[in-house]
A and B are shown apart, each in its own frame.
Chain A
């Protein structure tokens, strides 16, 4: 009957999420303002043309995306995945503080279910957030005076499935780490300090905001293995049909991301089990 417990606990997490609409809106505000302000003001294309980079080469820098905003907005989807994952563990600390975790641990629920249901809820939140960010970016293309996301890829349903899986895997990866940390940390202050510690380095060492060909080589090497980059690569290849610009196919990136995610899930499930042992 583990599935029933799993579904019930996941449902609880999602109900709590839906019932805090202010939290949902404020989570979406950050990517929204990035798209509305940062994405509009930073016109990398213009900078490149001022620098004398011919349009052909600029397209190579964007890895096949039609313009910088299109390139960047798919990166923002990766950013909201990271963001959702980083905050997934805060609920654990509140659950401990408000006593609800005690009820779960006193019940005959496998510890993996306590962990897995939270990761799953995080993934569902991430995929929904990611889809909303996609929708906003695409909508911008139809609004006068705004740059927007132009989809030029033609991979159809398979592409959509790959994009959704990439969103799911990368959220699962960061959710598992931070839910694990939520079980290990008692103080919300320490938890948010960790979130801040991880947030910017992971974001800026990924390809989410800027083309990695502009990075120094050491940072390029890090960015290539950054899970956010892997997910964004899958999404960009599918959005812009730009396999020619990448060394690997979207499916290969997806496979690598899935493998890394699985390792983190297994490790942090064990961490959570350990943290909940009788002491």
Chain B
């Protein structure tokens, strides 16, 4: 398997002080779904901007399919599809017209354009609305149209910057399904940014956790969770006295026990393997059990572990926003 995307020491400083991306390095293998997970302002969009030729890195290098991003931007643009956070479709044109325009911009052969556009409209369930103006589309339909437009030239590498931002849960699920379908089809490498933990967890093969412009951890979702220290077995006793923590601490495989909110929380690498012994120990110590449950650590805990703070999905303005404000304040053109 070869490398689809590579970043080495990538940094971006806006103005003279706002460091949006700070020495970021990673590799994405061909065919992989690679996620950039972090709160707003973490540097996700700036990284995408640099990888997709829109922003010039302050330091470091990036390549896509072995081609240097800064040296050959036109070559890169031909090989990538980009789905931006905001809608880029033209409201005054129909869905089909937007896709035909995208096909022309990416030099899809004229003879193939009609078929390709129809295929994408069908795949993204926009067939019925194809000849309606985009201004009548819902948020979810617009996102699907964005995805369709980015696929029109069948790019080997696809960048999705917060593809589900601002969508309702149903539309989000629809977009996630589309990504899974594309993935099954094969032939694409995905670079996905998100600030939704569940999305990163269920869609991505590997995740980089980014915070304050720096990558804090990279790995598969399960690797990252393992690093946090395994599962949590929650035992709710019938009598909430919390006096039997030592009973559970002696169970083989238990790494630690705590008493919180009327339940014992047992940490173990593999939660289900300690449940029989824990139940037996409880019976022997005459501890009545109301419930026993095993919980795998979520990415919330992973995020807490690697960044030292709780994950909040809504944070302040992004680094790019700040940079723009700083430059405007200084009287810069943009």
Contacts and interface: CB of A to CB of B under 8 A. Distances in A.
Interface in A66-118: 98-100, 102-109
A237 B88 CA distance: 47
Q: Give the interface SS of chain B, mostly helix, strand, loop or mixed.
A: loop
Nearest to B80: A106
Given A5-B104, A12-B90, A184 B54 contact: no
Contacts of A99: 84, 86-88
B54 A1 contact: no
A1 B153 CA distance: 14
A107 B86 contact: no
Contact of B56 (A184, A186, A279): A279
B68 interface: no
Contact of B88 (A1, A9, A100): A100
Most A CB within 10 A of own CB, among B70, B78, B82, B101: B101
A179 B92 CA distance: 20
A12 B55 contact: no
Contacts of A19: 92, 133
Interface residues on A, range: 20 to 34
B327 to A, nearest CB: 10
B107 A108 contact: yes
Contacts of A193: none
Given A100-B88, A100-B90, A278-B73, A107 B55 contact: no
B86 A102 contact: yes
B97 A102 contact: no
Interface in B101-152: 101-102, 104-107, 110, 133, 149
A15 B55 CA distance: 31
B101 A8 contact: yes
Interface in B253-270: none
B106 A278 contact: no
Interface in A1-56: 1, 4-5, 7-9, 12, 15-16, 19-20
Given A16-B90, A100-B89, A278-B56, A107 B105 contact: yes
A108 B82 contact: no
Contacts of A8: 100-101, 104-105
B105 A102 contact: no
Contact of B101 (A1, A12, A98): A12
Contacts of A15: 92-93, 97
Given A102-B84, A278-B73, A16 B107 contact: no
B91 interface: yes
Contact of A102 (B70, B73, B88, B91): B88
B77 interface: yes
A103 B145 CA distance: 13
B100 A103 contact: no
Nearest to A186: B334
A278 B53 contact: yes
B290 interface: no
Contact of A108 (B78, B84, B86): B78
A278 B54 contact: yes
A92 to B, nearest CB: 13
Contacts of B104: 4-5, 7-9
B62 to A, nearest CB: 12
A186 B333 CA distance: 8
B93 A16 contact: yes
Given A4-B107, A5-B107, 6 more contacts: A5-B105, A20-B92, A106-B54, A106-B82, A106-B84, A279-B55
5 contacts: A9-B101, A12-B90, A12-B101, A107-B77, A278-B70
What 10 A-B pairs are tightest by C-beta distance, nearest first?
A8-B104, A103-B88, A107-B105, A108-B77, A278-B56, A99-B88, A1-B107, A99-B86, A108-B78, A16-B92
Interface of A: 1, 4-5, 7-9, 12, 15-16, 19-20, 98-100, 102-109, 184, 186, 277-279
